Structure 1
Amino acid sequence: MAAPDAPAHTGPRPFSALGEDGRNEYWAALALRHCPGIGPRSRARLLQMFGSAYAAVRAVEDWPRAGLNKRQAGEFARGTWRKEARREWDAARALDALILLWPDAAFPRLLRELPDGPALLYLSGDAGLLRAPAIAVVGSRRAGDHALGVAAHMARRLSACGITVISGMAQGIDSVAHAAALNGVGRSIGVLGTGIDRVYPRSGHELFRRMAREGLLISEFAPGTAPLAGNFPIRNRIISGLALGVVVVEAASRSGSLITARMALEQNREVFAVPGPAMDEQCAGCQELVRQGARPVFTVEDILRDMADILRPFSISEASLPPDVSDEAPVPATPPTPPPLPDTARAAAESLTAAGPKERLLGHLRGKGAVHIDTLAQELGLPVAELSALLVGLEILGAVQRLPGARYEAVS
């Protein structure tokens, strides 16, 4: 709830239309952002306790109630933050940037709940998309053609049923997900690691303009901020924070997408991974996510079924998904015989399938039919991460098959 002396407005306003109360709140937010010793978590505690940045800076003596110490309060009182705050103020004024403040009614509830959420956002585009249910689609900047096709397919299908697709505007998976989602009713939100007025990468100039015109771009960084390496992990918490779930498509073992996935888990969001081919280094990160408990998915239907309870309040379900004519292909009368599994792939799959748990799992599935992975974990007494790795290995070997809704059955 906003403080009485910082009344909430319904949505974002350009700098020139902030008014006195808006300018007070904006300046207070900049003060907290640029004050040495006050990090994102301390700032978020102040906002959550006092209801606005303006109320917080007027009650410095009460900061210990929010877990801050005398040193932090003393640093704020010294005003060492003023130079950087003024620089950002002037940049926003020169751009007449569209600003969404923490007390504003349109500020996303999911970001308010984060332990390190931002105090303000700069926007360009349709702010109404912040009210829509959203799922993030992220992955490698150097993805192969197959992975790019998977990301585009998933983004297009999610958008087709009214889900907004969030990503980070990077090359590769991010860019194709944004472009595909813009063609659907859900459209797309791009979270920048730069100022709202900086196009990065340079090759994404056309996508940047299209997102501002048909979707939404957001940034917590000051206008003019360059693409510094340290900004991108910071912006990742907003990608996952705005989303109900995160889908990772092709990520290597040290991919930045894994940072987003880890933040999503910390934020109690659903995490999905497209496992990809065995022994493919570009997919090692996704395979590791599955071992750690992320849900392996192959279709949008899998995601919609797994998130049915979360999406129900938005009247979105598998039934909301229209036919995707562009992806339809004739079904052959006789399914083709799959090629033999390479020895290296077979060895990798067998390394995931210990003999004891494997036989017990297969016997269980043969006796019960299709079973959801969570139910399997309970009935077999196995950790979900261990069970997920076992199921992936057995699926590669052709011993089990995954059904919609994260259910598995033995292949006779």
Structure 2
Amino acid sequence: MEAKQRDGVGLSSPLLNGEAPPNKDASDGEASLGSTSFLKTCLNCLNALSGVGILSIPYALASGGWLSLILLFIIALATFYTGVLIKRCMDMNPGVKTYPDIGHCAFGRKGKFAVSITMYTELYLVATGFLILEGDNLNNIFPNIVIELAGVSVGGKQFFVLLIGLVILPSVWLNNLNLLSYISASGVVASVIIICSIFWTATVDGVGFHNSGTLIDWDGFPTSVSLYAFCYCAHPVFPTLYNSIRKKPQFSNALLMCFVLSTFGYASIAIFGYLMFGSEVQSQITLDLPINKFSSKVAIFTTLVNPISKYALMVIPITNALKGLLPRTSKSRLTSALISTALVISTVIVALAIPFFGYLMSLVGAILSVTASILLPCLCYLKISGTYNKFCVETVVIVGTILTGVVIGIFGTYTSVLNIIKHW
């Protein structure tokens, strides 16, 4: 691909089309101007990484047993490395601004199509998972809520999914990562509070660490690994964050800091939850907490902040791509708000139709997170850099990472689909 063809590829490049328009659209916001500080980029990145996986990871550990925890650290290391590969791909092609653009640069239109489908589907389902999580936890706190809407009785989880959709809606009208960093800060603080509250529930409020667990459970191993992969599904957001940071060389340091902190948080809550509830831990640990304890209420209510703070960050690439499909004369704040609103409505509908949080996240992790966070960065980097023509240590590492991702994807997908069908 000629350099002159890459110039001007913008954050709002079309969803699936092979050609990207110049980056001159004001609707792209601050993300394309490189005006976000190192600290704010870290907050956005950490908020994207420490997502709803923080609630499902005790279930992941319980599914695979203690030895599966080793794979959490392996996956964390692999996905950090592939995050760096994404940065390298963008450094080698200054005109590349989005994840689909990387696919286009590596494999042409087919590459862009494959990356686009994987990336936007993953982000869409992650956003849907936020709504399912909120509905589950609110229904656990207020189990007997029923209201009338246009003569139709709506109650329980369905009502709360609709309510959270309305609460989240204003945040998706923002398209400025400087502003979203403040929302991200609340999400990071919320994650810390959740971990501390659960630890308090165990040590002070009497739940205790009474379960020894099992060393390994081969039957649940694929589910465990898929959920670990889901914890690191933020790669489609990395190009947006990279474009937004003021000093580009600092991005690798930001990634390293965020991966270390998020992995420490994941490992901590996984161990706490497994020791507290053993193999009986539910797909969201907050559903196991005794709601009569103050610390449990703090954890549960804080959990409600997390999806609200993360939803907009996850869907920004989708809304920018959809806006990129519009004629230039049709682009305005109003059309942008309408697209974002339609996206929220659609995820609410899907969340109402697919209520199985744990199995949905496992499926997303097995198919989409592995593909977007492990396979595609490796394949694109091999092609763009020409490393595939060389036999060196880096080539061996990348090929080994690809093979690991393929194995995780195949077994995780098979197990997740069986579980969804079984519980439908």
Give the alignment's TM-score, normalised by structure 1.
Answer: 0.24
Structure scoring higher RCO (CA < 8 A, sep ≥ 6) equals: 2
Decide which structure has greater helix share: 2
Decide which structure has greater strand share: 1
* Rg comparison, structure with higher value: 1
